Amino acid sequence: MKALIVSSEFPPGPGGIGRHAADLSLALASRGYLVDVYSNLDYVQRDKISSFADELPSNVKLHRFRRLGILTYPLRMLWVINAVRRNSYNRSIFTGKFPLWTGAVIKILYGKHRKVEFFVHGSEVNPGNRFNKILTHWALSKADTIWAVSEFTRIILPAKVRLQKEIRILPNGVHTTIWPETDSVEKYTDWKGYPKLLTVGSISPRKGQHRVINALPALIEKYPDIHYHIVGIDSNTKYLRDLIITLKLDNNVTIHGRLPGRMELARAYKTSDIFMMLSENQSDGDVEGFGIAILEANIYGLPAIGAVGCGIEEAISPGINGELVDGNDVASIAGAVIKVLEQPGKYRLGIKEWIRCHDWSILIDDFLKTE
């Protein structure tokens, strides 16, 4: 059996879409599939590529796109089309905006001889300009099967792109076995503060780091040493740094930038006390489809606090692996932080069962039932 995965992101590059594609490829490989993965080199440190590829099982083959100016997208599409022409794939999976367009072209070229499956995460709800929106709408209409990573995404997608097609749900998950064993992970000894709050994700208004910063003054009286650690690509931090200065929180917030690998992330999760993801839906339609980093944090027993009104509501079960709050309500955020810190044992027990239900070893069988 053979599977094709075309993704706009893939590790060691950042991004939840890429992590999802990697997890899906590993899950398919564990069920005996030979998996061809096509992705790009954006935001990837070249010295990390070969070491990451060495970690993949032998039945996962990674093919990387390079940018070639105005020829980038046409050549990427031709490369994938050629792969489809040469191989008889049992599953052809496309995830991320441009791969959806590629999948639609393949469906037109090969018709009933090639079934194409699209995964939507949230970014597809905000295709960008009118041209991109038309292309994305057209592409989604060509899919044989559309998978959403959350009920939230399943509900909002048809309204945003006028889609009249069944959308199935396969929630995000994690491979607990590919993350470093908890006992082998050392905490960062140079990370400041107690309690340590952590967010891992691209630094952007959608991820809601500013909401956590706004809530810190309400917590400082009870926790004078509280510290918020922000991990993610730091290409757009001015608005956060200005907010930190305005609220006089220079000694309570550290922006670490991106951490290079799974072990470094594991150390961040194990070092911290609460994971924060107060994502905020944007006026242009950019939304949080799930929040896979929450599950990664849970692997290391780290409870999470997330915002209602987006896909995070499906990544957190209140009282089990964390709490949900109104991301604009400072008192609600502060109250949740205090509640989680005062009942650590309660959340540790709930997290174990939550992670078991979201392990790809279970999710992949649900996916394969649709063959």
Ordered structural domains, the chain, with CATH: 2-170 (3.40.50.2000), 178-357 (3.40.50.2000)
Spatial distance between the Cα atoms of 59 and 178, rounded to a whole number of angstroms: 16
Rg (CA), the chain: 21
Eight-state DSSP code of residue 359: B
Phi first, then psi, for residue 332 (nearest 5°) are -65, -40
pLDDT in tens, the chain (371 residues): 999 999 988 888 777 888 899 999 999 999 999 999 999 876 566 666 666 767 788 999 989 887 777 788 888 899 999 999 999 999 999 998 889 999 999 999 998 788 999 999 876 666 667 787 788 888 988 999 999 988 888 887 766 666 677 889 998 899 888 888 988 899 999 999 999 999 999 888 889 999 999 999 999 999 999 999 999 887 778 999 999 999 999 999 999 988 888 899 999 999 999 999 999 877 766 667 788 899 999 999 999 999 998 889 999 999 999 999 999 999 999 999 999 999 988 999 999 999 999 999 999 998 998 76
Half-sphere CA count of 140, side-chain side, radius 13 A? 27
Q: How many residues does the chain have?
A: 371
Residue with the two structure tokens 């998996």: 35
For residue 254, how many other CB atoms are within 10 A of its CB? 17
Give yes or no for a contact between 106 and 114, defined as CB atoms under 8 angstroms apart: yes
